[in-house]
Amino acid sequence: MNEIKIFSPATVANVACGFDVLGFCLDTVGDEMTIRKVDKKGIFITKVEGFNLPMETELNVAGVSALAMYEAANPDCGFEIEIRKNIKPGSGIGSSAASAVGSVFGMNELLGQPFNKTELTVFAIKGEAFASKCEHADNLAPAIFGGFTLVKSVAPLEVLQIPVPNNLYATIIHPQIEIKTSEARAILPKEVALQDAITQWSNFGSLIHGLHTSDYPLIKRSLHDIIIEPHRSKLIPYFEEVKQAALQQGALGSGISGSGPSIFSLSEGLEQAKSVEKAIKKVYSKTNIEFDVFVSKINTEGIKIIK
Ligand code: HSE
């Protein structure tokens, strides 16, 4: 096999109370990438479609993670990477993560899988860090492993896979404004009050328990973020209106997807997720900001080969 085409999915990081550690994988939206083995040694970005991204390997997120793996594998060949970017950079649904994991996943397949998923995530962290100026894996891990993942530690990397309740669906609204992760991180306080930390880790623990036991009412009672959301929500127009519309429509919870501007809601059942979609569409239709909205089942497979 000399060429492979892959689907690299969008992801939701943080999931309210799990800042920098929790994430889940979407299945409706993702990038398509073609990776090709070539005789000439090195990593070459040969095509980028969809959005205007650098073609220089060292300046392209997919190139940076590919180089990290290439150095470790030291293969007797090179690789060309073509990217069909469908996830808008700065959208909050793991655009840089999809690029970062796509190249290393594809190369690993073409080399006969010398690396496991955890090792691939370690290489991808280099690409993600290049984009967001911080080594975090809460979008990378769900893109590679699928489902819900908990990044227990980044160095050394330890990823836990959390079970996905069968009937859980996400509704995502993506307002067409750009928020840079690095900027959304810069506005966060360096310290938190002990009482807030207690509330947050109690919600986080009970969310994980709710996911393990498919306890939807417990998931609903746990999807709260009292530490990050109060700061970042100011960057997202009509955030509160969208959240309230989703909750009134019966969503289990709603919050900022990654560093925004996308907003995620979780629902029990497809019908519920679709009625949340309708309700939040209504909120944004009254604004002059363009937006996309979509419903997705939680993708338990993660990144996959399409050809
Ligand atoms: N956990 C990261 C953040 C995800 O919220 O800054 C963004 O990529």
Q: Which of 11, 95, 12 lies closest to 61, judged by CA?
A: 95
Residues 30 and 120 reside in one and the same domain: yes
pLDDT of res. 51:
93
Helix (H) or strand (E) holding 297: strand 291-297
Residues 158 and 173 reside in one and the same domain: no
Return the ligand 1 atom nearest residue 132 CA: 8
Q: Are 231 and 191 in contact (CB under 8 A)?
A: no
- Pocket perturbation via mutation, ligand 1, pick of 130, 136, 231 by most ligand atoms within 8 A of CB: 136
For 152, residues 6+ apart whose C-beta sits below 8 A from its C-beta are: 21, 158, 159, 160
CATH for 209: 3.30.70.890
Q: Which residues pair with 13 in a beta bridge?
A: 23
Q: What angle do CA 163, 168, 169 make, to 5 degrees?
A: 130
pLDDT band at 40 (very low <50, low <70, confident <90, very high): very high
Residues 27 and 150 reside in one and the same domain: yes
Q: What is the pTM of this model?
A: 0.97
Residues 20 and 136 reside in one and the same domain: yes
- Tell me, using a 6 A CB cutoff, whether residue 181 lines ligand 1: yes
- Told to judge if 181 belongs to the known catalytic residues of this protein, a careful annotator would answer yes
pLDDT of res. 133:
82
Domain ranges, residue 133: 3-162+301-305
What is the average pLDDT value for the chain, to the nearest integer? 97
Average pLDDT over residues 202-225: 98
Residues 69 and 23 reside in one and the same domain: yes
Residues 194 and 279 reside in one and the same domain: yes
Whether the per-residue pLDDT at 132 is higher than 90: the answer is no
Q: Rounded to an integer, what distance in angstroms lies between the CA atom of residue 98 and that of residue 128?
A: 9
Q: What percent of the chain has pLDDT over 70?
A: 100
The neighbour count for residue 206, using CB atoms within 10 Å, is 17
Q: Say which of 34, 57, 82, 128 is annotated catalytic.
A: 128
**Ligand 1 atom 6: residue of nearest CA:** 259
pLDDT of res. 11:
98
**Ligand 1 atom 8: residue of nearest CA:** 258
Residues 116 and 255 reside in one and the same domain: no
User: Of the given ranges (129-133, 140-144, 232-236), which has the lowest mean pLDDT?
Assistant: 129-133
Average pLDDT over residues 148-160: 97
Burial of 94 (0-12, 13-18, 19+ CB in 10 A): buried
pLDDT of res. 28:
86
Give DSSP secondary structure letters for 65-93.
HHHHHHHHH--SSEEEEEEE--SPTTSSS
CATH for 43: 3.30.230.10
Q: Rounded to an integer, what distance in angstroms lies between the CA atom of residue 108 and that of residue 90?
A: 27
Q: What's the gap between Cα 50 and its chain centre? A: 18
Q: Are 265 and 187 in contact (CB under 8 A)?
A: no
pLDDT of res. 59:
97
Q: Rounded to an integer, what distance in angstroms lies between the CA atom of residue 69 and that of residue 167?
A: 37
Positive/negative CA dihedral, 186, 67, 98, 23: negative
- Tell me, using a 6 A CB cutoff, whether residue 119 lines ligand 1: no
Return the ligand 1 atom nearest residue 259 CA: 5
Tens of pLDDT, residues 293-307: 999 999 999 999 998
Residues 120 and 172 reside in one and the same domain: no
Residues 234 and 144 reside in one and the same domain: no
The neighbour count for residue 133, using CB atoms within 10 Å, is 13
pLDDT of res. 307:
83
Q: Are 168 and 255 in contact (CB under 8 A)?
A: no
Q: Are 135 and 181 in contact (CB under 8 A)?
A: no
- Told to judge if 82 belongs to the known catalytic residues of this protein, a careful annotator would answer no
Residues 156 and 184 reside in one and the same domain: no
Tens of pLDDT, residues 177-190: 999 998 999 999 99
Q: DSSP state, 29?
A: E
Give DSSP secondary structure letters for 151-187.
EEETTTTEEEEE---TTEEEEEEEES----HHHHHHT
Domain count, the chain: 2
Residues 146 and 203 reside in one and the same domain: no
Average pLDDT over residues 146-163: 97
Return the ligand 1 atom nearest residue 14 CA: 1
Q: Rounded to an integer, what distance in angstroms lies between the CA atom of residue 301 and that of residue 143?
A: 9
pLDDT of res. 1:
87
Torsion of CA 143, 146, 149, 151, to 10 degrees: -40
Residues 155 and 116 reside in one and the same domain: yes
**Ligand 1 atom 1: residue of nearest CA:** 20
